[in-house]
């Protein structure tokens, strides 16, 4: 009888340990750890505009016996990024993003257009030595095609990249100084178009710079029309 009592007592102890451990996991501080707010650590006070979020809160692997914030926690801002809903639908790039975007897009577009024009010119140009001479072999034709398209692509790409740099810098600067006065958002873009054309053609004189500024303003108007159709321009 003593042997059977020991066996039954051991089984009861193991069952009690299993039930107690399951109760600890189910009734822990994060009993609803799969809900939206289960991982928010409200006990950690940072004194700043964010709180610590631990997606593994309630699991034993996320517990830290030293009383410190777990390593898996990351900062979640408490304030909304935009106060009004209209600001959420319209996001403006900062000046670094603006310069990077327009300079890169301008260079790539100019390089593509220049490369296409150079390729067309190389294919249209007659072989050296006239029509009656021996035809150039395929390797020399390919070399001439690459040289012509590469030279035109670099020239057009550099010019378009400079134009994009001027426009992005001017638009960001005008937005920074004119936004506080509550002026329309189209005004800095139009002013940046005029400044871009004028700066690009200023070495040829003030009259040419003024005409180029008007052309730049017209191009900026087309850009505004494109922004109303395609977001991100």
**Within its chain, how far is the Cα of 192 from the centroid?**
22
When mean pLDDT is compared across 12-26, 45-59, 137-151, 158-172, the lowest value belongs to 12-26
Query: Which has more confidence, 118 or 129?
Result: 118
Structure-token pair, residue 110:
């100019």
- Is residue 103 within 8 A of residue 164, CB to CB? The reply is yes
Strand partners of residue 74: 53
φ/ψ of residue 151, rounded to 5: -65, -45
Q: Is 79 left (phi over 0), alpha (psi -120 to 50) or beta?
A: beta
C-alpha dihedral, 115 to 120 to 125 to 127, nearest 10° = 80
- State yes or no: pLDDT of 153 exceeds 90: yes
Q: In the block, which residue shows the tokens 């030279």?
A: 151
Distance CA 111, CA 140 (A): 23
**Beta-strand relationship, 40-41 and 74-77:** unpaired
Structure-token pair, residue 138:
């395929």
Distance CA 47, CA 1 (A): 65
pLDDT of residue 9: 54
Q: Assign 62 a pLDDT band (cuts: 50, 70, 90).
A: very low
Q: What percent of the chain has pLDDT over 70?
A: 58
- State yes or no: pLDDT of 39 exceeds 50: no
**Mean pLDDT, rounded, for 216-229:** 93
pLDDT of residue 26: 46
pLDDT of residue 31: 42
Structure-token pair, residue 35:
């809900």
pTM for the whole thing? Answer: 0.58
Q: Which residue ranges make up each domain of the chain?
A: 38-79, 91-229
φ/ψ of residue 163, rounded to 5: -60, -45
**Residue 91 CB: number of other CB atoms within 10 A?**
10
- State yes or no: pLDDT of 110 exceeds 90: yes
Distance CA 202, CA 200 (A): 6
Kind plus residue range of the DSSP H or E element containing 138: helix 138-178
């Amino acid at each position: 009888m003593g042997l059977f009592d020991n066996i039954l007592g051991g089984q009861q102890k193991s069952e009690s340990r299993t039930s107690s451990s399951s109760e600890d996991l189910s009734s822990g501080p994060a009993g609803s750890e799969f809900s939206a707010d289960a991982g928010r650590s409200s006990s950690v006070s940072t004194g700043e505009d964010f709180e610590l979020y631990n997606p593994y809160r309630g699991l034993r692997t996320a517990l830290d016996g030293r009383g410190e914030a777990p390593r898996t926690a990351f900062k979640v801002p408490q304030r909304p990024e935009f106060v009004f809903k209209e600001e959420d639908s319209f996001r403006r790039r900062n000046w670094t993003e603006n310069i990077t975007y327009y300079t890169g897009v301008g260079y790539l577009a100019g390089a593509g257009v220049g490369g296409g024009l150079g390729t067309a010119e190389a294919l249209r140009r007659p072989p050296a030595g006239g029509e009656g001479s021996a035809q150039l072999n395929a390797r020399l034709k390919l070399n001439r095609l690459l040289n012509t398209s590469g030279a035109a692509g670099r020239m057009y790409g550099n010019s378009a990249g400079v134009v994009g740099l001027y426009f992005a810098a001017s638009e960001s600067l005008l937005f920074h100084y004119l936004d506080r006065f509550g002026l329309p958002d189209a005004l800095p873009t139009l002013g940046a178009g005029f400044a871009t054309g004028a700066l690009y053609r200023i070495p040829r004189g003030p009259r040419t710079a003024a005409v180029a500024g008007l052309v730049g303003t017209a191009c900026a108007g087309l850009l505004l029309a494109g922004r109303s159709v395609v977001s991100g321009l």
